[in-house]
Chains A and B, each alone.
Chain A
Amino acid sequence: MFDKKKLNFWRLAFIFTGFTLLVLVYLWNSPQEPKSKMMGESMGNMMKQMHVTNMTIYDLLTSEREKQASMSEMHSHHQNQSPIIFKLNFLTTSIIFLLLPFIIGGAIILAIVWIKIV
């Protein structure tokens, strides 16, 4: 297992495992601040608990329209960004959404070309 060729990997792994363990031991031993009731989970888990737990496929396909009012309220709230942010947002969003169909298309091509028919 401890191959000579992998020596550098094991060196890194041991250093970082030791570092992780040390930090964890230190954190659990330090005086605990009062634990927060909220935000204990990751964002995905919080969203899951809030929304995903009782969801069907049908819910995925229909979109709520009643949020519109609150969103336009937010819109007026978000007007204080600098123009460069708006430009960059436009640039990145258009890059991503224009290339996305082609990425999916390319993936389909490669999947068809690569699949082995036995």
Chain B
Amino acid sequence: MLQKTWVKIFIWFMAIFFFFLASGVVISVLRPGPSENEAMSFMMGMMSAMDSSMMGVAMNIEHDNALQAVIALSASIALPVMVLSVAAGIGIRLWQRRDRNV
């Protein structure tokens, strides 16, 4: 699989991409502070994200009854699922051990 040319190119692409990201983050942190212009475009960009992307919609969850119901449902199943998974974890552990000791 790794010998295929397109896989090799893909792996190289991903490696270069992550290096690009890392150097981009280093440049962002160490560069001279944001100019007036950049701070303005940051705020404008955030405003446009609230206006025309999901950020604004997600801020209104309190007014979306269907989503409220989904979150309430997930909150209500969270505790039983956790208790069940503790039980299941112990169960699987014992199940694995039973074989090993025989």
Interface residues of A (CB under 8 A from B): 12-13, 15-17, 19-20, 23-24, 27-28, 32-36, 38-40, 68, 71-72, 74-75, 77-78, 80-81, 85-86, 88-90, 92-94, 97-98, 100-102, 104-106, 108-113
Contact = CB atoms under 8 A, between A and B. Distances in A.
Interface in B34-75: 34-39, 42-43, 50-54, 56-64, 66-67, 70-71, 73-74
A39 B56 contact: no
Contacts of B67: 90, 93-94
Contact of B57 (A38, A68, A78): A78
8 nearest interchain CB pairs? A112-B89, A105-B85, A33-B35, A36-B39, A39-B39, A109-B89, A101-B78, A78-B56
B20 interface: yes
Contact of A85 (B31, B36, B43, B54): B54
A28 B32 contact: yes
Contacts of A112: 86, 89-90, 92-93
Interface SS majority for chain A: helix
Contact of B33 (A35, A75, A85, A109): A35
Contact of A113 (B56, B73, B92): B92
Contacts, number: 139
